[in-house]
Structure 1
């Protein structure tokens, strides 16, 4: 298999695993009585430990070098608190008030928000394709939130609020740790960020206090979120993007909301209106619009990761 084909395969499988992770979260939150805060704290602690163990096997004591400089410690804290923790919490909170498909699609507004932010920062008007992406994103949100009716919301206000905050958090997650990732690598920065974010959340939400209903299905769903939806998915996706580039990778990452929506409907029985499907299509189309140029667009170069990601 060529490097390009294997890169496409790794990227798609990684994105699909993120979608499976989101649906597993919906199962735990809506059918087993867990809270998004407890789930996020446990996921971040366990995933952070696993990632750091993997990094330690490769780099040994060098995994601790991120703590040497004051600026690095500050940036790591900001990444953990306002990037990862905020992103994880708002994503699973959106799921708890709606479903995995809706939460993942709303999070996919992040590339458009990044594009708008960078356009304002650089004082540069968006290109026609980027303007179309903004229009499609707004139209998609409108259809998901209202089903085309101006007098009522089709999803709860909390679901819409958390979903939009989730997209904002992905912007922070993509832009804030750029220097850390460039200096120390993605997995090391992500591992420490996950672990530190989990510790910070544990100070408030106390994950050692077991809640909800636990059976074999619940334990299996939690393992899927931690192992498949975090460690393996990130490893595959990032390796895939390394082989094929961020532009193609951002397009293929649309497999995530598609898998989350499919599983949410056929596994958990979530019902979708035709306007939901149209809204999903409009929002996903923004990823393709943001790649329609001769060289990679700044928004599409920000790799979408769900930390659901």
Structure 2
């Protein structure tokens, strides 16, 4: 199973957890004309587009929050807008609602509403890059769940990755200066990571076998369910809609608020999810993991340029260590696919039943 931190979790983790295109036993989609190399190149381009689109979500959302909208209201606008665009997909996969209601509810509640609400609330208090880097603790948290709750062994390399991720995070938040960032913002960012872990554990227990679901359908229904849930808590009828008719400040430049909202809905959500799904089948886990980590880099650079959110040298180094640790943690955990012996154990005695972080990303 694939764990992603940041927004790409929706596209990548769902595709991995639910079956590639929702049809168990269906042979792989043939590579486009030009062979595997062209397919990989296309997959890389799509993954880069997805990472860039996801990475820009926080940068576009923060000015709207600064202009007077509540983080929950911006989250609702994003999810409801994307759900509206994806309505034709929900109709196409309407049987999915009856076949896998628990999975769809879990995705809508945790991976959509939970992650995005916590993330947007966090970035209203702390820098975008810091909030996203904290979410990269998700692979470490999954491994902690496997080791201490499920009491299953993990590899030494995975443990090293966890230590690196935690140590890098200490540099990002500058613990030596007494946590200079808003503690509530840090807790909210950690809450986003925990919501990701909750969804991945849930999907690991219900996504395999003959009842595998189409990932595009899961995302479409997840957005719809998330929009309904967020409507209750965000209370959009109390929102100051006039904010969307004005302009917001981005590092001294006035930008139409509706343009930022359009980016969040169409680019950072719909396009990002679709390109993420299309890229999954064309890339190896190693390449995909590196590309997914670029989301945090892109978000940090965009926040630096567009929002004047500068990170210190120790924070930049710590961020690199977090990404390295997250990548090691998710790539070092052994897969059980095709490696089990007759007794259900891996050929080398490695754990095979743990949720396997394969990739890092989600916002």
The TM-score range, normalised by the shorter chain, is 0.7 to 0.9
CA contact (8 A) 1:129 1:289 kept: yes
C-alpha distance in 2 between matches for 1:148 and 1:278:
15
C-alpha distance in 2 between matches for 1:91 and 1:228:
18
Give the TM-score taking structure 1 as reference length.
Answer: 0.87
CA contact (8 A) 2:106 2:199 kept: no
Match of 2:308, SS state, is: coil
Q: Name the counterpart of 2:133.
A: 105
**Aligned-residue offset at 1:281:** 0.9
C-alpha distance in 1 between matches for 2:219 and 2:167:
33
C-alpha distance in 2 between matches for 1:213 and 1:135:
44
**Aligned-residue offset at 1:292:** 5.2
Q: Which runs of 5+ in 1 are unaligned?
A: none
Q: Name the counterpart of 2:93.
A: 63
Match of 2:83, SS state, is: helix
Q: Which runs of 5+ in 2 are unaligned?
A: 1-36, 248-255, 337-354
Match of 2:152, SS state, is: coil
Matched, 1:200 2:229: yes
Deviations 1:48-82 (A, max 9, x none): 221232x26xxxx542112324xx22332233223
Bigger fraction of residues in helix: 1
Matched, 1:39 2:74: yes
User: 5 Å matches for 1:131-170?
Assistant: 131-146=159-174, 148-149=176-177, 152-170=178-196
Q: Name the counterpart of 2:6.
A: none
Deviations 1:138-157 (A, max 9, x none): 112212223533xx211111
C-alpha distance in 1 between matches for 2:182 and 2:114:
20
CA contact (8 A) 1:52 1:63 kept: no
Q: Name the counterpart of 1:218.
A: 257
Q: Name the counterpart of 1:52.
A: 87
Matched pairs, number:
296
My pick for the range that moved more, 205-214 or 138-147, is 205-214
Give the TM-score taking structure 2 as reference length.
Answer: 0.75
Matched, 1:19 2:42: no
Deviations 1:231-290 (A, max 9, x none): 111111121121113443122101111111001111111121112112211111113323
C-alpha distance in 2 between matches for 1:305 and 1:180:
20
